[in-house]
Amino acid sequence: MQKNPAECTTMADVRVEIDRLDRALMTLLAERWGYIDRAAEIKRPLKLKADIPARVAEVRENARRHASELGLDPDFYEGIWAQLIDHAIAHERSLLGEANQ
């Protein structure tokens, strides 16, 4: 049975909920990765590069804004998103044959 933080009375309760959320986050990241693959498929015939700086800036700003709106540290979460973006761009470059660029 899922509990909110206030309903957790033991560290075991807290750990169960953190593990549940970690799994949910991984599921969402896996879903996001599917869109990264699809982006590369769409970019190929359009001859678009993996790295589109305006979009990178937009995604990073979205991460900052969402973090701030949720009371989270925008610098920290933008940093996490920067790593996600860098990893996605490297993957797209590989799929698009840009790996050596």
Local structure of residue 100 (DSSP, 8 states): T
Q: How far apart are the first and last CA of the chain?
A: 50
DSSP code per residue over 47-92: T--S--HHHHHHHHHHHHHHHHHTT--HHHHHHHHHHHHHHHHHHH
Q: Is 43 annotated as a binding residue?
A: yes
Interaxial angle between packed helices 74-96 and 11-46, expressed in degrees from 0 to 180 and rounded to the nearest 10: 40
Q: Is 47 annotated as a binding residue?
A: no
Segment (H or E) for 30: helix 11-46
Q: Is 23 annotated as a binding residue?
A: no
Binding-site residues for substrate, in ranges, read 15, 32, 43, 92
Going by the annotation, the residues of the binding site are 15, 32, 43, 92
